[in-house]
């Protein structure tokens, strides 16, 4: 494998698909785009390190396809990994039909997985550019203060970021007054990761408690909200980190535009609405113990816990979906998204 981007060194530490599954499941790697890239590259590393590359092309294809299915089972809500697996299976099948050796199938897979790493960065930068321009045009303000939830930057993608990529683009264009990031309990992706990225990029930023969102908006200090997505249904309903729905409700009440920033790979046209999205539940320890489950127990022993990792924001609370192909807006006739038409038009 060739080292093409700095973040690839992170994924190379994941030795094989089993390590990849554990890293994704345990949220060592998290963020829908990063999950897809880490899953694909973990298998590429395993294949690259195989001592025995003998066997038929069909046997190599079967090996890779079974491994991909195993990886997809690690996180059910984020659709990007399943989408990447589907595309990689097509590459595998084509290689198996056109090459005489197993080695050729493995090499085709490695090249395709590495290509996904580069494509994700390019996709994120396009999302940032489209999003920054669109939000500026909609708000008609020279300087904007933008709120985001969870982590959607370089640590959740192959690089640059989706929602945080929009904030980065606004900042680099001189149009960002301030970024606000929520702590994002219980796993604290906002305070641990987003805050780190904002400070590292020298972007003017303020960390707030999840419960302070409504007060911040009431004070008139938020011009727009931009969040990421783990899955977008065909009607625009969006699954994202738990607490996103609450932020959207606050934004609606305070007339603050609420945008979702995600690559087209996060769109699942097979789902008619968010009601069909599988919501993963996390370990009770994330709530019972300090530091998102890593520290000592602080809650009373014996208390029951409900800890969904995601919630679904209805499309009627979303102002637009920012993708690498452009911004999906609602049709004026019925104030609804036509996600399928947009995807087909830009395919």
Last residue within a domain, chosen from 98, 120, 142 = 120
Same domain, 111 and 179: no
Report the predicted TM-score, pTM, of the whole model to 2 decimal places.
0.79
> CA 185, 121, 14, 264: dihedral to nearest 10 degrees?
70
Same domain, 55 and 156: no
Per-residue model confidence (pLDDT) at position 125: 95
Same domain, 199 and 314: yes
Last residue within a domain, chosen from 103, 120, 137 = 120
CB 278 within 8 A of CB 268: no
Asked, for residue 3, whether it belongs to a domain, the answer is no
Same domain, 177 and 268: yes
Same domain, 103 and 180: no
Asked, for residue 271, whether it belongs to a domain, the answer is yes
Same domain, 162 and 234: yes
Same domain, 77 and 148: no
Q: How remote is the C-alpha of 214 from its chain's centroid? A: 25
Q: What is the pLDDT of residues 294-336, one digit of tens each?
A: 899 999 999 999 999 999 999 999 999 999 999 999 987 678 8
**Which of these ranges, 15-19, 111-115, 251-255, has the smallest mean pLDDT?**
15-19
Same domain, 63 and 143: no
Mean pLDDT of the chain: 88
Q: What angle do CA 253, 213, 224 make, to 5 degrees?
A: 65
Asked, for residue 313, whether it belongs to a domain, the answer is yes
Q: What is the pLDDT of residues 136-183, one digit of tens each?
A: 999 999 999 999 999 999 887 877 899 999 999 999 999 999 999 999
d(CA 41, CA 16): 9
Asked, for residue 2, whether it belongs to a domain, the answer is no
Edge-to-edge strand list for the sheet holding 231-233: 267-268, 231-233, 238-241, 310-313
d(CA 18, CA 177): 44
Give the residue numbers spanning the domain of 79.
Answer: 8-120
Task: Indicate the helix (H) or strand (E) that contains 92.
Answer: helix 80-98
Q: Which positions ≥6 away from 163 have C-beta within 8 Å?
A: 131, 148, 152, 226, 227, 228, 259, 260, 261
3-class secondary structure, 34: helix
Same domain, 325 and 200: yes
Per-residue model confidence (pLDDT) at position 26: 56
Q: How far is CA 24 from CA 37, 49, 76, 326, in A?
A: 11, 21, 11, 29
Q: What are phi and psi of 199, to 5 degrees?
A: -65, -45
Higher pLDDT, 1 or 223: 223
Instruction: Name the one residue in this structure whose structure tokens are 């960002």.
Output: 176
Same domain, 222 and 89: no
Examine the pLDDT at 277 and tell me if it is beyond 50: yes
Last residue within a domain, chosen from 81, 97, 120 = 120
Instruction: Name the one residue in this structure whose structure tokens are 């038009």.
Output: 345
d(CA 221, CA 219): 6
Asked, for residue 1, whether it belongs to a domain, the answer is no
CB 124 within 8 A of CB 165: yes
Active site residues: 230
**Paired tokens of 96:** 């198996």
Domain containing residue 61: CATH number: 1.20.120.420
Same domain, 116 and 69: yes
**DSSP conformation class of 186:** T
Same domain, 156 and 303: yes
Domain containing residue 334: CATH number: 3.40.50.10470
How many domains does the structure of the chain reveal?
Answer: 2
């Amino acid at each position: 494998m060739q080292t093409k981007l700095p973040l690839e060194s992170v994924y190379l530490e994941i030795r094989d698909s089993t390590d990849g599954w554990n890293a994704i499941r345990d949220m060592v790697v998290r963020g829908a785009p990063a999950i897809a890239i880490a899953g694909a590259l973990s298998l590429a590393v395993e294949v690259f390190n195989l001592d025995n590359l003998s066997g038929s092309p069909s046997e190599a294809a079967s090996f890779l396809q079974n491994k991909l299915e195993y990886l997809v089972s690690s996180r059910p809500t984020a659709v990007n990994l399943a989408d990447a697996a589907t595309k990689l299976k097509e590459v595998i099948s084509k290689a198996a039909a056109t090459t005489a050796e197993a080695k050729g199938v493995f090499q085709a897979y490695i090249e395709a997985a590495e290509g996904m790493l580069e494509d994700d960065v390019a996709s994120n930068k396009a999302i940032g550019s489209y999003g920054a321009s669109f939000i500026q045009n909609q708000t008609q303000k020279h300087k904007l203060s933008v709120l985001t939830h969870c982590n959607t930057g370089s640590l959740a993608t192959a690089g640059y970021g989706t929602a945080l990529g929009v904030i980065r683009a606004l900042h680099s264009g001189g149009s960002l007054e301030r970024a606000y990031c929520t702590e994002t309990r219980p796993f604290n992706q906002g305070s641990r990761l987003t805050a780190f990225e904002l400070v590292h990029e020298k972007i003017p930023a303020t960390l707030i408690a999840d419960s302070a969102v409504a007060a911040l908006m009431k004070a008139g200090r938020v011009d727009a909200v931009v969040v990421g997505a783990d899955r977008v249904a065909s009607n625009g309903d969006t699954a994202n980190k738990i607490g996103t729905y609450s932020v959207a409700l606050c934004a609606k009440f305070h007339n603050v535009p609420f945008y979702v920033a995600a690559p087209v790979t996060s769109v699942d046209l097979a789902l008619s609405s968010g009601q069909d999205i599988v919501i993963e539940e996390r370990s009770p320890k994330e709530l019972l113990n300090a530091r998102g489950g890593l520290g000592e127990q602080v809650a009373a022993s014996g208390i029951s816990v409900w800890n969904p990792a995601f919630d679904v924001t209805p499309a009627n609370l979303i102002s637009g979906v920012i993708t690498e192909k452009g911004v999906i807006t609602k049709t004026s006739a019925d104030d609804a998204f036509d996600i399928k038409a947009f995807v087909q038009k830009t395919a």
